[in-house]
Chain A
């Protein structure tokens, strides 16, 4: 085995098939087994997190379909004897699910539109304009990532009271947008720095305005990082409940995470109902995530690596 090291194939990257064909006729069978052993080990390394990271979803699904006795009985890997689908209909009925859902969709939707628009504008200005205060503005935004939301609860309450927007969706959308912009500006400006400036220059020479360049050139090529921003913003806002519980009082305006949190903390009659409500609460975010997940990997740090 010791001499194997320098006999390793030059680049076993990515293409497993080519690798094995190449070595089928190799006389060094030891190399062959070693490679398989190593590959097996690596695949095991990949497989373990699949189990541990997907487990909560599975757990939650099973939980939501069990009876109280099965849940309290506490055996962890068990399937429910009979799938208690009625947990879902009960949770649906008692939890005002649709109302909360539509509120959440609206708040989150509007927030995302604003976050993307506003932060891409700032990111563009920071990364492409020649002006004195660009770095300062960037620093100010970066500092925002360090501010804990809970510390701003009371000042925000006073601000919103004076703006007369307490107990409206505005009182959620505004802080959500404000708290989402730092990370969005951070990701987007990183990407925009990497866009080759020849494209822009030629458009500029052709007489296109900055606004036009932004709309017709910059935004379209920035789709991958925008998707990343979308998902990160979506996850944060979709699950936020402290502001939602504090600024909204009307039942008809409340959002889903608030509903989920209240529903969970009741703990009373039926654990399965709670599980079902949790599943229904997480469903939109799971769907959107898997729908966009290929985009997110593209946009996360696009541009931060200069090749």
Chain B
């Protein structure tokens, strides 16, 4: 409910400083990228206007592009899959632990560490056994020798190994969001439901789930956008290799722009990424609006 009717000047004072800064430094550069995406340009010498040639190459001829899109979308799906589990954990936490905050804070720690540390750690976990990799060591200890792999260098599994790291790192993040959401639901609602005979998971069905939907949406959107942009982790752990087996859209963009000296082409990929984000976020919004209506 918006209450205040204020003069335009006041609105300007409140909004413009931030909006201008943001538009100039975030919005304008990406618009520039939409334009440079139309150029044949190495980023250094004079550019040549090429129309949609970059986009045509990207969609039709680039053997790396579509696989990287597929991996990116899988990344997004993988990160969203853990959110229901986080919600379940949040509900249990709220129910069984009096001071859940401390636990949630602990779960959150991987989020605050820099990717450099996370990358180092997981590389030593995934290392082949000859280099002391923990995961393979444990598998051999359990007698599962045939399960051992070079986790981040075998093209077929490398990407999944990276998904796993992200799931692990952001587990605490989503749990935190869900947990605070669950905590914010007033106790009276449950008391009332108890009188009506609804309780435990039945109460969750009628109280927790409908009320948590907006929070759930936040989590989904953040997970989605985060994974579409997944960059640092891939760069630190595999740099997109071996042979593009772990390239995602953002690393492919970066490598094209800065290593292959195809800046125009890299910009075209960036434009595609932004549009992809927009489309999917809009999609998620619509789905959730319907859900909210259905539940309430």
Whether A and B touch directly in their complex, counting CB atoms under 8 A apart, is answered as: yes
Is A27 part of the contact surface with B, judged by Cβ < 8 Å?
Answer: no
**Docked-complex contact B112 and A141, CB < 8 angstroms:** no
Q: Which of A57, A185, A197 has the most CB of B within 10 A?
A: A57
Is B283 part of the contact surface with A, judged by Cβ < 8 Å?
Answer: no
Identify which of A124, A179, A296 contacts B26 (C-beta below 8 A).
A179
> Which of A80-88, A93-101, A149-157 lies on the face that meets chain B?
A149-157
**Docked-complex contact A118 and B17, CB < 8 angstroms:** yes
Nearest B residue to A274, CB-CB? B120
On whether A15 and B98 interact (CB within 8 A), knowing A56-B118, A155-B33, A297-B104, the answer reads yes
On whether A235 and B112 interact (CB within 8 A), knowing A154-B43, A304-B181, A305-B212, the answer reads yes
When distances are taken between beta carbons in the complex, the residues of chain A under 8 Å from B28 are 155, 159
Complex interface bits, B190-201 against A, C-beta within 8 A gives 1, otherwise 0: 100010000110
Rounded to whole angstroms, the CA-CA distance of A72 and B130 in the bound complex is 10
**Docked-complex contact B10 and A210, CB < 8 angstroms:** yes
Complex interface bits, A278-292 against B, C-beta within 8 A gives 1, otherwise 0: 100110011001100
Is A45 part of the contact surface with B, judged by Cβ < 8 Å?
Answer: yes
**Docked-complex contact A307 and B184, CB < 8 angstroms:** yes
**Docked-complex contact B105 and A293, CB < 8 angstroms:** yes
Is B93 part of the contact surface with A, judged by Cβ < 8 Å?
Answer: yes
On whether A239 and B107 interact (CB within 8 A), knowing A74-B131, A278-B120, the answer reads no
Identify which of A14, A118, A151 contacts B21 (C-beta below 8 A).
A118
Min CB gap B173→A, angstroms: 10
Identify which of A145, A197, A201, A257 contacts B225 (C-beta below 8 A).
A145
Identify which of A12, A119, A140, A299 contacts B27 (C-beta below 8 A).
A140
Identify which of B97, B133, B263, B277 contacts A154 (C-beta below 8 A).
B263
- Which of the four size classes fits the interface of chain B? 35 or more
**Docked-complex contact A56 and B95, CB < 8 angstroms:** no
When distances are taken between beta carbons in the complex, the residues of chain B under 8 Å from A54 are 106, 109
Rounded to whole angstroms, the CA-CA distance of A95 and B220 in the bound complex is 40
**Docked-complex contact A56 and B110, CB < 8 angstroms:** yes
**Docked-complex contact B5 and A53, CB < 8 angstroms:** no
Is A52 part of the contact surface with B, judged by Cβ < 8 Å?
Answer: yes
Min CB gap A277→B, angstroms: 10
Identify which of A75, A178, A297 contacts B22 (C-beta below 8 A).
A178
On whether A297 and B114 interact (CB within 8 A), knowing A10-B199, A140-B23, A152-B30, the answer reads no
CB-CB contacts below 8 Å: A166-203 with B: 174-175, 177-179, 181-182, 185, 197, 200-201
CB-CB contacts below 8 Å: B99-129 with A: 101, 103-118, 120-121, 124, 127
**Docked-complex contact B134 and A76, CB < 8 angstroms:** yes
How many pairs of residues, A versus B, come closer than 8 Å at their CB atoms? 283
Is B243 part of the contact surface with A, judged by Cβ < 8 Å?
Answer: no
**Docked-complex contact B6 and A210, CB < 8 angstroms:** yes
CB-CB contacts below 8 Å: A1-23 with B: 8, 10-16
Rounded to whole angstroms, the CA-CA distance of A289 and B8 in the bound complex is 39
When distances are taken between beta carbons in the complex, the residues of chain B under 8 Å from A210 are 4, 6, 10
Min CB gap B178→A, angstroms: 9
Identify which of A8, A260, A286 contacts B116 (C-beta below 8 A).
A260
When distances are taken between beta carbons in the complex, the residues of chain B under 8 Å from A273 are none
Nearest B residue to A213, CB-CB? B4
Is A109 part of the contact surface with B, judged by Cβ < 8 Å?
Answer: no
**Docked-complex contact B21 and A174, CB < 8 angstroms:** yes
Complex interface bits, A53-83 against B, C-beta within 8 A gives 1, otherwise 0: 1101101100000000000111110000000
On whether A282 and B22 interact (CB within 8 A), knowing A140-B27, A147-B274, A154-B43, the answer reads no
Nearest A residue to B199, CB-CB? A10
Q: Which of A127, A129, A142, A175 has the most CB of B within 10 A?
A: A129
**Docked-complex contact B2 and A159, CB < 8 angstroms:** no
Identify which of A75, A130, A142, A294 contacts B5 (C-beta below 8 A).
A130
A binding-site residues for B, Cβ under 8 Å: 8, 10-16, 39, 42-43, 45-46, 49-50, 52-54, 56-57, 59-60, 72-76, 118-119, 121-122, 124-131, 134, 137, 140-148, 150-152, 154-156, 159, 174-175, 177-179, 181-182, 185, 197, 200-201, 204, 210-211, 214, 235, 238-239, 257, 260-261, 264, 278, 281-282, 285-286, 289-290, 293-294, 296-302, 304-307
Shortest 9 CB-CB contacts between residues of A and residues of B: A74-B132, A146-B277, A155-B29, A151-B270, A152-B29, A118-B18, A178-B25, A293-B105, A239-B114
Question: Could you list some 8 contacts between A and B, CB below 8 A?
Answer: A46-B96, A56-B118, A59-B121, A76-B137, A146-B229, A146-B274, A154-B257, A299-B180
